[in-house]
């Protein structure tokens, strides 16, 4: 019998279905145990995930799955670890702005090698950000770095360098100069969008950068093969600057749907993957998988977005408060997401500085809601919600029934992703539901980005409160962490408990499954990093296939 490989399983499952593939896997084994030269079992981790088909170049992608792959290969100056702490990576230390708030001196660790053997220098850093700001690159997250002096001019095609924005004192020392104070610029240096590329290799690859094997960095693992369709194979980078990486090989295996992926995990074709909320209850009842489920908190929030612009019928705060009072959030967490969430007491999740530990749960009171609607002259209120299919649709269907109890009729309409995104950005949605997940544990990325008046107009919110704008504006320039947290706490209270400008539902929990021999399987937010993952080769059920 021919052996069934991971790659043939992925391709075959699309034709034969998950069930047939599972039978094949159960019947066939590998060709032998993979060992090192010393005879020890190789540490080979196989991680299953979807394929966004956007490539690994995170200047051109915003997909968290692609980021998981790229961050094993390339590194940013700093790193957000799995405990949501900002730590060093390519830099010797986490830098701080000078007293002017716009000058940021950075120093690279010496001797860091790219996978092609060349050494990382300040010139690679400057090149990377200049490439990002070059219009032909098509970078998607320039807004997080366009405060560098000269960046907006580059994006507009008015200049071709960042000579005033990034000055290189020598091979290891360089300085960012930004237009105006923004302390969170430092945080942005710790995410995948700031990955540093080797100048010569990136230029040589051209448009192919981030596809196939045309992607190298300073990361723990280097790409051996990649067909951009079924699997990306990596091996340990022995010259890694921060010690020997734990794994011998790292494989990202792509699956078209969650059912197929979990079947592959159950049958031993992969070692580690996420578990969607839709499948949570099924596998909680599976005695083989249930002990391997690990649930973790995220930094995000699921919420009902209210359009506060004139003509949308939601400008009266009493109406918005009544809508909040009419939502049984405990029921939504229990029945819509199978318990995969914590009822929200505000906008900011508990791990985010500015979260108010003393805030009580949002009240559920049908009679009080009815009275507020009556006081506002809004009895027999009819509202329209447009939403994408999936969990957000199920949330609004549940709320639809709840609001009927307070005398509000909610018409729930489902739109495809593209139409919904256009309507959301155009500000035409009266009500919708969505999840908002910041890239790291800082409220600026969470609240300023969504509810600052100039930004809220582009997200069908139109929240416009001068006090709120002042609070979040002051917080983004303060270098005092305690002061920033207090400002965000005040802003959260104003947003959700005084103005009821948005209706937080719950803070989502996500799930992962990992075999018992996988060590340090932990997710700080949304991205599955392999920085610290290891394998216990002494486990009887671990048998790496050659």
Indicate the class that CATH gives domain 301-508. alpha beta
535 burial via Cβ count (<10 Å: 0-12, 13-18, 19+): buried
Compute CA 106 distance to the chain's CA centroid, rounded to the nearest angstrom: 26
For residues 326 and 404, give the distance between their C-alpha atoms in angstroms, rounded to a whole number.
9
What pLDDT score does 524 carry?
A: 87
What pLDDT score does 14 carry?
A: 38
Phi and psi at 378, nearest 5°, equal -120, 35
Q: How many CA atoms lie within 13 A of 168 on its CB side?
A: 16
Which among 261, 354, 259, 372 has a CA at the least distance from the CA of 301? 354
Which among 494, 184, 532 has a CA at the least distance from the CA of 353? 184
Cα–Cα distances (Å) from 353 to 297, 475, 482, 505, in that order, read: 15, 11, 9, 19
DSSP secondary structure string for all residues of 207-226: GGTTSTT----SSSEEEEEE
Which among 384, 385, 373, 400 has a CA at the least distance from the CA of 319? 373
What pLDDT score does 445 carry?
A: 86
For residues 24 and 8, give the distance between their C-alpha atoms in angstroms, rounded to a whole number.
11
Cα–Cα distances (Å) from 119 to 127, 169, 173, 263, 518, in that order, read: 14, 17, 14, 43, 32
pTM of the model: 0.88
CATH T-level fold of 1-50+220-271+515-546: D-Maltodextrin-Binding Protein; domain 2 (3.40.190)
Multiple choice CATH, 56-208, 3.30.470.10, 3.40.190.10, 3.90.76.10, 1.20.120.1200: 3.90.76.10
Where in the chain are the domains?
Answer: 1-50+220-271+515-546, 56-208, 301-508
Q: How many CA atoms lie within 13 A of 218 on its CB side?
A: 28
Phi and psi at 503, nearest 5°, equal -120, 90
* Structural tokens at position 513: 């499954």
Per-residue pLDDT of the chain (546 residues; tens, 9 = 90+): 333 333 333 333 433 333 333 333 333 344 578 888 888 899 999 999 999 899 999 999 999 999 999 999 999 999 999 999 999 999 999 999 999 999 999 999 999 999 999 999 999 999 999 999 999 999 999 999 999 999 999 999 999 999 999 999 999 999 999 999 999 999 999 999 999 999 999 999 999 999 999 999 999 999 999 999 999 999 999 999 999 999 999 999 999 999 999 999 999 999 999 999 889 999 999 999 999 999 999 999 999 999 999 989 999 999 999 999 999 999 999 999 999 999 999 999 999 999 999 999 999 999 999 999 999 999 889 999 999 999 999 999 999 999 999 999 999 999 999 999 999 999 999 999 999 999 899 999 889 999 999 999 999 999 999 999 999 999 999 999 999 999 999 999 999 999 999 999 999 999 999 999 999 999 988 899 999 999 999 999 999 986
Strand partners, 306: 431
Phi and psi at 452, nearest 5°, equal -55, 135
């Amino acid at each position: 019998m021919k052996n069934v490989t991971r790659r043939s399983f992925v391709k075959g499952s699309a034709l034969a279905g998950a069930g047939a593939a599972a039978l094949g896997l159960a019947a066939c084994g590998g060709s032998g145990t993979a060992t090192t030269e010393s005879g020890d079992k190789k540490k080979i981790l196989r991680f299953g995930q979807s394929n966004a088909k956007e490539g690994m170049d995170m200047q051109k992608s915003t997909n968290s799955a692609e980021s998981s792959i790229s961050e094993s290969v390339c590194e940013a100056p700093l790193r957000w670890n799995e405990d949501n702490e900002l730590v060093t990576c390519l830099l010797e230390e986490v830098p701080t702005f000078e007293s002017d708030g716009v000058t940021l001196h950075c120093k690279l660790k010496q001797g860091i090698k790219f996978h092609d053997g060349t050494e990382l220098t300040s010139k690679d850093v400057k090149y990377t950000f200049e490439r990002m700001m070059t219009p032909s690159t098509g970078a998607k997250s320039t807004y997080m770095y366009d405060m560098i002096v000269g960046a907006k001019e580059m994006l507009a095609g008015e200049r071709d360098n960042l000579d005033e924005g990034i000055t290189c004192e020598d091979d290891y020392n360089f300085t960012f100069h930004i237009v105006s104070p923004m302390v969170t610029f430092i945080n942005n240096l710790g995410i995948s969008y700031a990955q540093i590329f080797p100048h010569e290799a990136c230029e040589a690859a051209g448009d192919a950068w981030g596809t196939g094997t045309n992607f190298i960095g300073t990361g723990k693992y280097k790409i051996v093969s990649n067909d951009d369709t079924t699997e990306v194979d990596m091996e340990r980078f022995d010259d890694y600057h921060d010690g020997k990486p734990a794994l011998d090989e790292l494989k990202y295996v792509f699956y078209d749907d969650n059912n197929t992926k979990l079947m592959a995990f159950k049958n031993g074709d992969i070692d580690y993957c996420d578990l969607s909320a839709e499948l949570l209850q099924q596998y909680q009842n599976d005695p083989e998988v249930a002990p391997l489920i690990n649930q973790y908190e995220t930094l995000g929030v699921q919420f009902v977005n209210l359009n506060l612009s004139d003509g949308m019928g939601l400008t009266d705060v009493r109406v918005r408060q009544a809508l909040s009072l009419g939502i049984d959030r405990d029921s939504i967490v229990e029945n819509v997401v199978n318990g995969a969430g914590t009822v929200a007491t505000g906008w900011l999740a508990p791990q985010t500085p500015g979260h108010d530990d003393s805030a009580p749960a949002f009240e559920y009171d049908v009679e009080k809601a009815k009275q507020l609607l009556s006081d506002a002259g809004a009895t027999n209120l009819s509202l329209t919600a447009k939403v994408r299919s999936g969990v957000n649709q199920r949330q609004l269907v549940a709320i639809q029934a709840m609001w009927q109890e307070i005398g509000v009729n909610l018409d729930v309409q489902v739109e495809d992703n593209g139409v919904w995104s256009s309507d959301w950005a155009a500000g035409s949605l009266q009500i919708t539901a969505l999840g908002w997940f910041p890239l790291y544990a800082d409220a600026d990325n969470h609240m300023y980005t969504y509810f600052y008046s100039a930004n809220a107009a582009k997200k069908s919110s139109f929240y416009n409160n001068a006090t709120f704008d002042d609070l979040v504006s002051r917080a983004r320039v303060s270098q005092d962490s305690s002061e920033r947290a207090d400002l965000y706490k005040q802003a959260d209270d104003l947003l959700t408990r005084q103005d009821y400008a948005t209706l937080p539902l719950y803070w989502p929990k996500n799930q992962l499954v990992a075999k018992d021999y996988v060590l340090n399987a932990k997710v700080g937010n949304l991205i599955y990093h392999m920085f610290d993952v290891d394998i216990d080769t002494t486990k009887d059920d671990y048998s790496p296939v050659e």
